[in-house]
Amino acid sequence: MVCREHTSNNIVNYQVPPQIPVCGPLIIRCATYATSRNATCAPHPSRTHSVAAAAMPPSGACCSHDHDCEAADCGPAYSLYKHIDQLHIRCLNEDVDGSCKNAFKAWAQRTQPTEHPLRSDPDDPELLLHIPFDGAVKLKAICVIGGSGGSAPSKMRAFINRDDLDFAGIASMAPLQEWDLQEDNNGSLEYPTQVAKFSGVHSIDLHFPSTFGSDQCEIHFVGLKGEFSERQRRAVEAVYEARPVPGDHQVPGDMQGTYWNVS
């Protein structure tokens, strides 16, 4: 298979390895090469040009890792799970309360079986996952491992820095970005964000409205790739008196009625 880049002077061909998963239209597979080091659209042997990023549409794009993740150690890049405020993760329409927390784990554990994966209500595949961080993050990509038998989510929509969203609210809201997902059982695909829009993120809501045919959505892993910044705000301890107590403010006898000239 060959990707084509239309330039001002000519058309450059790129040979795509046949083992690379299809991520939407072919032009998307080519364009993702310019947005991530892990994207795989191999240049044609006779060419060394990179593919123009402008060719990629704002949604639906994905990248495939072009290396052995264990050998290359993708773990540090997907370490934002350490900075999630675990106590306040929540998910609307989850079948088992609190199971949404099981979707966040170390990259090396992403394919390990989960006793209680995040599942939607058996008759309604829609999920709205709220993920708060304990600081500000710059989110660069998202990885999602879904269930089998058509239960994996087929679409993902993202909203940031909101803590009041529900299904009724997002029905009339445009997401900051959305992606058409692929069924992925081992985390070989990642979905790049438009990074300029995902800087200074304190929380993100991921909406999964549909599956690949199942009436119940199932998610085993959600990986978040990016950079973390420490929260700068610090708590200040202060003591206020509701009523002054004269005994707490006594002045030594030899100093009563005196003053200091500080001019």
Q: What tens digit of pLDDT does each residue of 188-239 get?
A: 899 999 999 999 999 999 999 999 999 999 999 999 999 998 765 555 555 5
Yes or no: say if 221 and 100 are a contact pair by the CB < 8 Å rule: no
Q: Which residues lie below 8 Å from residue 57, measured CB to CB, with a gap of 6+?
A: 28, 31
Continuous segment of H or E residues that includes residue 70: helix 69-72
Q: Which residues lie below 8 Å from residue 55, measured CB to CB, with a gap of 6+?
A: 5, 27, 30, 31
pLDDT of residue 79: 82
Yes or no: say if 40 and 20 are a contact pair by the CB < 8 Å rule: yes
What is the pLDDT averaged over residues 62-72? 49
Q: What is the percent of the chain with per-residue pLDDT over 70, rounded to a whole number?
A: 58
pLDDT of residue 17: 46
Which residue has tokens 């209680």? 116
Q: Which residues lie below 8 Å from residue 218, measured CB to CB, with a gap of 6+?
A: 117, 118, 119, 120, 146, 147, 148, 151, 152
Q: What pLDDT, in 10s, does the model give residues 82-135?
A: 999 999 999 999 999 999 999 999 999 999 988 899 999 999 999 999 999 999
Of 26 and 250, the one with more pLDDT: 250
pLDDT of residue 161: 97
Yes or no: say if 195 and 177 are a contact pair by the CB < 8 Å rule: no
Its pTM stands at 0.67
**Looking at this protein, which amino acid is placed at residue 95?**
D
pLDDT of residue 11: 41
pLDDT band with cut points at 50, 70 and 90 for residue 75: low
pLDDT band with cut points at 50, 70 and 90 for residue 78: confident
Mean pLDDT of the chain: 75
d(CA 237, CA 263): 33
pLDDT of residue 42: 40
pLDDT of residue 244: 62
Sign of the C-alpha dihedral, residues 85, 169, 192, 137?
negative
CA distances from 144 to 15, 27, 181, 253 (A): 27, 22, 8, 74
pLDDT band with cut points at 50, 70 and 90 for residue 184: very high
